[in-house]
Structure 1
Amino acid sequence: MPKSFLGNSALDNAVAGFTAGAVSTIILHPLDLVKTRFQVDDSIKSLRERHFGATFNALRTIARKEGLIGLYRGVSPNLAGSTASWGFYFYWYDLIKRWMANGDKLTKLSAAQHLLASAEAGAITVFMTNPLWVVKTRMCVTSRKDPDAYKGLIAKYEGIRGLYKGLIPGLFGVSNGAVHFMFYEEMKKWRLKIAPEKDRERLDNIEYILVAGSSKTIAIVATYPYQLIRTRLNNQKFVIKYNGVIDTIKKVYSAEGFLGFYKGLAPNILRVLPSTCTTFLVYENMCAFFRKHA
């Protein structure tokens, strides 16, 4: 058994992931707010306006109309969702990897095993946290001054099913984490192969940033459309009604074309890359701290 600070390596990973998710969410929530509002905008003309500059314009507009506090609209469910997601994800990921390794070194796992372990951990996490993301989306797409702002209890007015809207595309989104973690683990193994004299327990901080950023970029480009579909299903304030995943795909493609599936990609990249790098940097350093003081 590996050394553990909290008595269980999976629990160490959960606490490290929880802390990492909290830090990155608090720092970068405003960009997530803009990304969400871009995603729910189903107007055709907005396609020409979605570029990196539009992200900063949107931030200025929100701050001017709603105040600086408006940039943190929906931060509570986002914080709860992010911390819970990262905590549960790393907990299950560590448990599944160690079960697959069967007592052998985790570095012996293949790319396919890392892909499967991260996919399984992601699926479990989605089921556990989907309600938090529904609440977060409802809050992010309205302002505090909006008379139509969502004030009711979702479960009360829409039933338990209302808390699980967007679950199917959320499960599709497990592919994002699976691809990300597979490349992340393989890049770390590659680093050890070309520099075996370095500490095998951890990379340098710059290496963590480069590895996390590179692997996440690949995953974002490959799987981004599911996020837009999930956001459209989570939010119901549309002229167009979306009824399920297939119906949403058809309507988005018909009205907005292929590029419609990539609305909000610019603010998503701006947010996700620093968020991912921050999350993994905090996570890996906390794990190193736990190992050192186990």
Structure 2
Amino acid sequence: MEEEYDYESLGQSSTMTQNATAGALAGIAEHCLMYPVDSIKTRKQVLRPMVITNGGVAQAATRTAAHLATQKVSLWRGVNSVVMGAGPAHALHFATYEVCKEAFGANEDSTRYHFLAPAAAGACATLAHDIMMNPFDVIKQRMQLRETTYRTIGDCARRVYAAEGVTAFYISLPTTLVMSIPFQSIQFATYEFFRKYLNPAGSYDPKTHMVAGGLAGAFASSITCPLDVVKTLLQTRGQSIDPRIRNAAGLWDAVSIIHERHGYRGFFRGLKPRVLTQMPSAAISWSVYEYFKWFLMKKDSQRSLLSL
């Protein structure tokens, strides 16, 4: 009979290489499959330039023939940047998470739910992931804009660096961390809760990982949407023709611009596509990660038995 693997113990018995490999495959699968929806989310969050009219300040009308033509541009543009960055970044992300979760004691008693340990481990993993991924994310969002003039991700990277310097690739990092650390902490803790609630036995169950991941992604993305809007403004500011947006200096300056233009509702621009992106993304990511971790451990175990 096929051996059953206790999923509660996988984190402490799987190797760093197995965790990193499974994480890399999960990251690539997640980002690539949901990339078109993410492009829609980015375009909805970007603030359009403002003009002065007789009635006051209003968004500039951009429904020209050229603008309408650009709307037909592929939603997959810039996906190469995600593929290049997501693999190594997610490998580091999940490997760090498993190491920290073990170090913080989340694997000591599989019968109890640990909230703080997976949340803290998720925060540590996010710090490592975002430092590596942020430049790729900047390039991705610049490529996703309707009005982008960049031909390739290499062209985008060179021109952004020439025009704005290395700062352009990291100006959104503080905001990204302010958003991502609570997002990932909430997601990891929520995922672990639903995984144990839906599958107390701890056996491998793809449906459990998919449902738990989806619920965790939806919950975390809803709470952190305002910070995602701020991050998008900062990462795409270099392509705005609005001087106020183009010269946004950081987190609080971006917050001020969004509030001035759209009030509190402005911080929830793109909420629906964000949740529609993150819910299946998290379900895909956790399902692929848990499957490959289980698969790689199973193969290693079979090879060990054959070598005896």
Counterpart CA distance in 1 for 2:69 and 2:219 is: 30
Equivalent residue number for residue 55 of structure 2 = none
Query: Once the two structures are superposed, what CA deviation does each residue of 1:22-68 show, in whole Å capped at 9, x if it has no partner?
Result: 1222222111111111111346988xxxxxxxxxxxxxx789733xx
In the alignment, is residue 138 of structure 1 matched against residue 142 of structure 2?
yes
Counterpart CA distance in 2 for 1:201 and 1:101 is: 20
Return the letter of the residue paired with 2:100. I
Aligned CA RMSD, in angstroms, stands at 2.8
Counterpart CA distance in 2 for 1:270 and 1:192 is: 25
Equivalent residue number for residue 207 of structure 1 = 208
SS at 1:243 equivalent: coil
By how many angstroms is 1:162 displaced?
Answer: 2.1
Equivalent residue number for residue 254 of structure 2 = 248
Return the letter of the residue paired with 1:123. L
The aligned runs of 1:13-28 (5 Å cut-off) are 13-28=19-34
1:190 to 1:3, Cα distance in 2 relative to 1, 3 A: closer
Return the letter of the residue paired with 1:183. T
Instruction: Give 5+ residue unaligned stretches, structure 2.
Output: 1-8, 51-57, 60-67, 301-308
Instruction: Give 5+ residue unaligned stretches, structure 1.
Output: 47-60
Return the letter of the residue paired with 1:175. P
Equivalent residue number for residue 112 of structure 1 = 116
Which protein, 1 or 2, shows the higher relative CO under an 8 Å CA cutoff with sep ≥ 6? 1
Pick from 157, 165, 185: which aligns with 1:178? 185
The aligned runs of 1:242-281 (5 Å cut-off) are 242-281=248-287
Counterpart CA distance in 2 for 1:140 and 1:62 is: 15
In the alignment, is residue 72 of structure 1 matched against residue 76 of structure 2?
yes
Counterpart CA distance in 2 for 1:64 and 1:162 is: 25
The aligned runs of 1:44-123 (5 Å cut-off) are 65-66=72-73, 70-101=74-105, 104=108, 110-123=114-127
Equivalent residue number for residue 53 of structure 1 = none
| Residues 139 and 157 in structure 2, CA contact (< 8 A), matched pair in contact too | no
Q: What is the TM-score with the length of structure 2 in the denominator?
A: 0.77
By how many angstroms is 1:11 displaced?
Answer: 2.0
1:63 to 1:276, Cα distance in 2 relative to 1, 3 A: farther
Q: What is the TM-score with the length of structure 1 in the denominator?
A: 0.80
Query: Once the two structures are superposed, what CA deviation does each residue of 1:230-286 show, in whole Å capped at 9, x if it has no partner?
Result: 110111233132221111112211210111111111222222222221111111111
- Number of residue-to-residue matches in the alignment: 267
Counterpart CA distance in 1 for 2:127 and 2:83 is: 20
Counterpart CA distance in 2 for 1:146 and 1:289 is: 40
1:62 to 1:209, Cα distance in 2 relative to 1, 3 A: farther
Query: Once the two structures are superposed, what CA deviation does each residue of 1:88-138 show, in whole Å capped at 9, x if it has no partner?
Result: 210110111122239835665720111111011111211122111111111
Counterpart CA distance in 2 for 1:146 and 1:286 is: 36
Pick from 12, 16, 41: which aligns with 2:47? 41
